[in-house]
Amino acid sequence: MPARAVHGMTGSGSSTGACELGRVTVEFRSVNGKGLTIRYRMAPECLGLETAIEKRIRDRFKRGTVQVAIDVVEPVRRVEQSVDAEAFAAAAKRLRELSAATGVEGPELRDVLSIPGVVSSASSDRSRTSWEPSEELAALFDDALDRLVEHRVEEGAETLGAMHDHLGELATELASVQERVPEIVTEHRANLLARVNEFLDQHATQLEPEHVIREVALFADKVDVAEEMQRLAAHIARTREKMSGGGPVGRDVEFLLQEILREVNTLGSKSPDVRVAHSVVAMKSSVDKLKEQAANLE
């Protein structure tokens, strides 16, 4: 089974068509978000559809702020209405009792019909309870969501392409550091010996060889970044693997980038070399760009 595409979190999708409410326009827009948040702006006739819409959204998305807008652009002209005979009789009786008790003229037909619950319509309860959309309205939801998914997939592909480029830059700088690190100790040993020989020539004294060896060993231990480079390479490989796996990867990639930055910072603090420092600055820049882009991934 092929892996699901990696989604971005920005996009929109809309659909317009006829249903039991009339001619309806459905639009879904999404932007970045740490979790999944759904916001609604709907015509009064559509209140009560939130549960059905939320289920469809959660089946498709894991992250992002999704804005739902539903407008009835051409409402149905006729609404079937019915009179509840029992409610009518009870309301009429109560109004007559109030009329007799207060001396106010008895109720007319329109007074009884205006009492809530006496007259009902096919959609009168939709603003108060949850209800399932018809096949036509559900199809509009699904069509608009399909269009939104297309946009998010396109954004995800573009973002992944840019991120792979920056990971490549990061790996190139790491390779430069790996090549440079062995030279640092060798150069330090040569510089140390040169200073020692200069000192000995000036003061006509001798220095035991083990003293130089001990100094070089201490320096080598202090600037040893083998573990940091190993972990950094592993994190880069794991990030690439995650990005290629498909599906919701944003949170995992963000976590891995935090670990990468931690190793880069340690690398910079342990190495006194200028060339390594320049590579560390370049790696930090790449990580910053990767973090910005990872925030766009579902």
Instruction: Tell me the β-bridge partners of 264.
Output: none
> Is a pLDDT exceeding 60 seen at residue 252?
yes
Distances (CA, A) of 36 to 50, 82, 88: 15, 41, 47
For residue 130, count other CB atoms closer than 10 A to its CB: 11
Angle, to 10 degrees, between the axis of helix 274-294 and the axis of helix 250-270?
170
> Is a pLDDT exceeding 90 seen at residue 261?
yes
Predicted pLDDT at 160:
96
Tokens of 2: 């092929």
Mean pLDDT for the stretch of residues 122-144: 80
**Measured distance CA(119)–CA(116) in Å, rounded:** 7
Confidence category of residue 2, pLDDT binned at 50, 70, 90: very low
Instruction: Tell me the β-bridge partners of 41.
Output: 69
Predicted pLDDT at 198:
63
What is the tens place of the pLDDT at every residue in 268-278?
888 888 899 99
Comparison of pLDDT for 113 and 14, the residue scoring more: 14
> Is a pLDDT exceeding 90 seen at residue 241?
yes
Amino acid at 113: L
Closest CA to 296 of 158, 166, 149: 158
Question: What does the DSSP 8-state code read for residue 44?
Answer: G
Predicted pLDDT at 75:
85
